[in-house]
Amino acid sequence: MPEDVARPASGRRQIARAAVLGGVWLAMRPQIGAAQTVEADTVLNVRQFGAKGDGKSDDTKSIQRTIDTAAARGGAVFLPPGVYPSSELQMRPHVSLTGIPAWDYEHGFGSVIRLADEHARCLLNITGAFGVTVEGISLDGGKLGTRVHGVWLNKTDYGKQEDTFRIERSQIANFSGDGVRLTRAWCFSIRHSMIAYNSGDGISLRGWDGFFLDNWLSGNNGAGFAAREENASCTFTGNRIEWNREGILIVGGDGYNITGNFFDRAGSCGLAVLGGEQMTITGNFVKRSGKNAKPGTYDSSQIRLERTRGVTCCANNLQVGRDDGGDGVWSPSYGIVYKELQNCVIGNNVLHEGALQQLMVDLGGHGEGAVVKDNPGCLSPHAG
């Protein structure tokens, strides 16, 4: 068809298309307006409730009022970048507290809530806040007070409903207590977060059904993760657990899957399971544990398994080391220390320069089905 004939047809089609789209736009305008109204009603900015975020003003009441209003509307709370000094905040069920994550390895940036009350029990109380989400927030304890926790769940019993809280892309640091303290927690996840430099444990758990994925648990004066009371059914994948007084400490737990994590420079044992059962410990790298432990003691070890049943410890890699830059003492004394095993397998672990004094330490007392074999390696030349 000649070009001068095609143009009018094309023009007619464009006009018709524009008319149709215009009709659709006119039809959609009320819906778009309604959606914008819904968003304005349910995504609540703390600045609109009086929060300053200037690092000086006490924003406790403003943030709490925003949280309470969001709970009543079934909404979410947004913290624009800034520093919000605050005392204890009580989260409400099904509320998302969301900010802009911009923190680095040592400091909180972006949306920061900073503890301003040394007498507070915690900064963020999630007790009873079923289905709550904390995402993209930096919680800074400033080392204020005594045993003040960053995020705290404290139930008197497990109740009939799963907690199902989520902590995502957040930094929880510099608290005089634990970074995250969970008492009778049931079903939750902590992902892509940094929990660091706290005077207690990074995460302290009494409970079960937890997912810990791709986190930094760093530089805590207690354990990176500790479960000292009843605990079970937790998954650890892709975490870096480093420079804590202890790495992971599990006492009497069961149903753990600990896979593909990096344990580095724990002050005592990198991974200790004392009295646990039904666990898989596979594909982890455990390096230079026992920094502060007395040489020759079992705290100066990479992995300890004692009084365990139904535990598989396979395909892990263990290595001695010292501080960055070639400083500090070489550690640990021992590779894998094991005692009173029943139906357990410790096999196919690699301990190339895996310890200073002894690669495998058998303390005896085993029941049936204790299999320990094929764990090749050598002592470090830095021993003694």
* Domain extents in the chain: 39-224, 245-384
C-alpha dist (Å) from residue 347 to 163, 271, 379: 37, 16, 18
Beta bridge partners of residue 43, listed in sequence order: 76
Query: What are the start-end ranges of the E strands in 238-373?
Result: 240-242, 246-251, 254-259, 262-264, 271-274, 277-282, 285-287, 301-306, 309-314, 317-319, 334-339, 344-347, 351-355, 358-362, 370-373
Measured in degrees and rounded to the nearest 5, phi and psi for residue 41 equal -80, -25
Look at the domain 39-224 and name its fold. Pectate Lyase C-like (2.160.20)
Please say whether the beta carbons of 111 and 81 come within 8 A.
yes
- Sequence-distant (≥ 6) Cβ neighbours of residue 229 within 8 angstroms: 206, 251
Locate 159 and state its tokens: 């109740």
Per-block mean pLDDT, blocks of 10 residues, the chain (384 long): 39 41 41 46 95 98 98 96 98 98 96 98 98 98 98 97 98 98 98 98 98 98 98 98 98 97 98 97 98 97 98 98 95 98 98 98 98 98 79
User: What pLDDT score does 39 carry?
Assistant: 56
Please say whether the beta carbons of 91 and 97 come within 8 A.
yes
User: What pLDDT score does 251 carry?
Assistant: 98
- Sequence-distant (≥ 6) Cβ neighbours of residue 72 within 8 angstroms: none
